[in-house]
Chain A
């Protein structure tokens, strides 16, 4: 005890920091989840019963939403994984031109606002769609519903699967496949008996990641779900639409349970099964497939997919200049005029709040990562678990949790900027924590000890050694939290008020009112803001690291 106190006196910063971090996670993650749990058993008049769960599981509309979500998630995850595997395989095994371009296109949907693809789907395949009406001459095409959702989610989420799979395929040692060929197997046999089995854990991993994303998806079901109701949407409608908090909370708990199960499955069961060990040593160069039908097929596939993605992205800016898509195709700036007058406030609010949330979540992510990787303290395990599981908490769940928790004293935060910023930070932070942990684990702890040994204090060690070494993780954490905050919807849709409106909510309102042109203009502006912000952030980081001191 005495020794611990002395250490506290020596380094008071660290314990204070730990307490602050723990407190903020408790207030903004654990407490809201607890509130949902509690509310799911309590009626509006304060009675305790199981009505909420009865409604969810009794086979009515809420139960349909649950099964719908699972069907949708299964379809989207399967399709995404197949497409991502083909892409990733082409990258790792085939010699094709434009690899960088394909790569950029494949990860583009990760950073784009959630509506872009849904909007384009309407413009392309809707009732007035470019393809459906103009090309195919269909009069009554309907993009709304399961098929539209599968299309849109697949295009939005296959990049997540792609990143997982391409990392895995690249790290399979070529010598294993060479050994197989050396023992007489042909290329197909080698693929079926070596490459494919080795990539099974990665495939399962990718599938589950997309599955969770699809379950938690809010934006797409809201825009093109049509009559196909899904869980995330239903939670919102229950809570905000019909103000049935008990049912909403019960549904949220069910959704949370499913995503947590899938996440734990992905993390511990599939994760453990991986055969590939990442050593950081480059494996030998793989001999790429240079010709033949396989190459041709895969190359054609990549080109077609890229064209589709590009088409989906090009259409939104185009649509923003068209008066009434499919009916009156004349050029207009009206949508932008509208956005810059009525929508100005939403843009300003979003930008301000995102700019405040970005550094907080970036720094907090790195600090939590540092605490988890390098420090020993009471409650560390809890911190690790909370920050890890928070990745799996769907935005809608956070949203309903926040209105349940922060509506009344002592934490009456609803309607304030604080609550929206908190939601931004909590939603963006897990990714930052994860990349921070990955970056720190690469760094030999004795480098920090060396700094201490040469006289640096804790804070100095962190700023002069740790931070510069995890600079790129920190930077990508900043970019990620800015992008996430600017495009956030599922959690914050519960929290907006007359005082603070957000672009994403405005887009949703425009889509619901059928003003696709205005929605497209909002989206286009959002994309432009994000591109500019990323360039600025990049320059800022370059300027901060500055020219190296030499004398």
Chain B
């Protein structure tokens, strides 16, 4: 049965060598609905893995409460918690074959031989692993090991499924295959899932909700689209995709559009909730700008790189360098280093923080 998970004010503090208290995770609140796929996303050291390990029970919490459903699990030892985990290194038991690896937890539960066989077989079917029963982990490819690790977690039919950067050891193509597969199985079973990664494309493609963490705290949470299009902080804007920042002041409001005065002219942005005179930062995604030969918002190309699907530019504008991406570049229209260009900002794609 899929369970809700809630974290109430949980903190994890360490004392460092000098006896100073530092927080790896600080007062994190989080409500995860049953069956939801939630991703903890952030750079290394942001506290995402510590949070996950506190949910699993491998780290004691310094303060706060963790609930699975209505049950407070603070004092439940890790081997009694209703959650199973897929580890970054897979952590398959190297001395047991595939079948025994998957059956390990069921044997601990002391299920009958028959029940174990049935359960293992059904999960093997979902994972397409039927041919590898007798293999030892060392005889499997990375992708197959990944599947066994997932099967071993799924066969326990846990209330919560945990993933700790499970795809980081796979090559790029396999990573895409596996992330689609994990998402498919998660949807099929409808299991509550907490997934830790530092890879934003994984987070975007799999999650119902993304929690962006930084320095032990939650920076922002929301759907992938919200996080990308409406970042609340510079950190989020910069971490999810890439972004240019231009400082400015709200000068006026025109037809539901804010007029932002910057060093090199007025930018129009379709946003509300800001007052005239307020200092703001405009978030400009690389794809929110089109380069033309016009006369307004002039800039100079300082870098121009052909990437296949895109042309990546660096443009000197307003005393800073902006990253700009043009999709489907056509040879005749590509600008070269030194060209003067006009920047056209798409007012729907700009964002203000």
**Cβ-based interface call for A512 (8 A):** no
A450 & B108 in contact (Cβ 8 Å cutoff): no
B91 & A446 in contact (Cβ 8 Å cutoff): yes
Cα separation A450 to B166 with both chains bound (whole Å): 13
A454 & B91 in contact (Cβ 8 Å cutoff): no
A454 & B56 in contact (Cβ 8 Å cutoff): no
Complex partner residue of B58 from A11, A449, A549, CB under 8 angstroms = A449
B108 & A454 in contact (Cβ 8 Å cutoff): yes
Chain A residues within an 8 Å CB radius of B94: 447, 469
Complex partner residue of A457 from B79, B97, B134, B156, CB under 8 angstroms = B79
**Cβ-based interface call for B318 (8 A):** no
A551 & B78 in contact (Cβ 8 Å cutoff): no
B93 & A550 in contact (Cβ 8 Å cutoff): no
Cα separation A452 to B76 with both chains bound (whole Å): 12
CB closest chain-B residue, reference A449: B58
In the complex, per-residue mask of A524-551: 1 if CB is within 8 Å of any chain B CB, else 0: 0000000000000000000000001111
Give the residues from 58 to 100 in chain B that come closer than 8 angstroms, CB to CB, to chain A. Answer: 58, 60, 75, 77-80, 83-85, 87-89, 91-95, 97, 99-100
Complex partner residue of B56 from A10, A453, A464, CB under 8 angstroms = A453
Cα separation A464 to B134 with both chains bound (whole Å): 19
Give the residues from 494 to 514 in chain A that come closer than 8 angstroms, CB to CB, to chain B. Answer: none
Give the residues from 8 to 33 in chain A that come closer than 8 angstroms, CB to CB, to chain B. Answer: 10-11
Cα separation A449 to B105 with both chains bound (whole Å): 12
Least CB distance from B38 to A in Å reads: 19
B108 & A447 in contact (Cβ 8 Å cutoff): no
Give the residues from 446 to 503 in chain A that come closer than 8 angstroms, CB to CB, to chain B. Answer: 446-447, 449-457, 460, 464-465, 468-469, 471
Complex partner residue of A446 from B60, B84, B88, B152, CB under 8 angstroms = B88
**Cβ-based interface call for B112 (8 A):** no
**Cβ-based interface call for A6 (8 A):** yes
B60 & A3 in contact (Cβ 8 Å cutoff): yes
Cα separation A447 to B145 with both chains bound (whole Å): 13
**Cβ-based interface call for A444 (8 A):** yes
A450 & B85 in contact (Cβ 8 Å cutoff): yes
CB closest chain-B residue, reference A548: B97
A453 & B99 in contact (Cβ 8 Å cutoff): no
Complex partner residue of B156 from A444, A454, A469, CB under 8 angstroms = A454
Give the residues from 90 to 142 in chain B that come closer than 8 angstroms, CB to CB, to chain A. Answer: 91-95, 97, 99-100, 104-105, 108-109, 113, 117, 133-134
Chain B residues within an 8 Å CB radius of A11: 77
B85 & A551 in contact (Cβ 8 Å cutoff): no
Least CB distance from B31 to A in Å reads: 23
Chain A residues within an 8 Å CB radius of B93: 447, 450-451, 465
A455 & B108 in contact (Cβ 8 Å cutoff): yes
A453 & B89 in contact (Cβ 8 Å cutoff): no
Chain A residues within an 8 Å CB radius of B60: 3, 7
B113 & A454 in contact (Cβ 8 Å cutoff): no
B87 & A449 in contact (Cβ 8 Å cutoff): yes
Cα separation A7 to B61 with both chains bound (whole Å): 13
Least CB distance from A226 to B in Å reads: 53
B113 & A551 in contact (Cβ 8 Å cutoff): yes
Cα separation A551 to B117 with both chains bound (whole Å): 7
Known: A444-B91, A550-B97. A453 touches B108 (CB 8 A): no
A452, A454, A471, A551, most chain B CB atoms within 10 A: A454
Complex partner residue of B91 from A7, A447, A468, A549, CB under 8 angstroms = A447
Cα separation A516 to B169 with both chains bound (whole Å): 64
Cα separation A3 to B152 with both chains bound (whole Å): 31
Cα separation A201 to B91 with both chains bound (whole Å): 35
B134 & A550 in contact (Cβ 8 Å cutoff): yes
Chain A residues within an 8 Å CB radius of B91: 444, 446-447, 449-450
9 nearest interchain CB pairs? A454-B105, A450-B91, A446-B91, A455-B108, A446-B87, A468-B95, A447-B91, A452-B79, A453-B85
Q: Contact residues of B with A, CB < 8 Å?
A: 56, 58, 60, 75, 77-80, 83-85, 87-89, 91-95, 97, 99-100, 104-105, 108-109, 113, 117, 133-134, 152, 156
- Beyond the given A453-B78, A454-B108, A456-B79, please list 17 additional residue pairs across the A-B interface where CB-CB is below 8 A: A11-B77, A444-B89, A447-B94, A449-B91, A450-B87, A452-B58, A452-B78, A455-B108, A455-B156, A457-B79, A460-B108, A468-B95, A548-B97, A549-B100, A551-B99, A551-B113, A551-B117
Q: Contact residues of A with B, CB < 8 Å?
A: 3, 6-7, 10-11, 444, 446-447, 449-457, 460, 464-465, 468-469, 471, 548-551
Q: What are 7 A-B interface contacts by the 8 Å CB criterion?
A: A11-B77, A449-B56, A450-B87, A453-B79, A456-B104, A465-B95, A550-B100
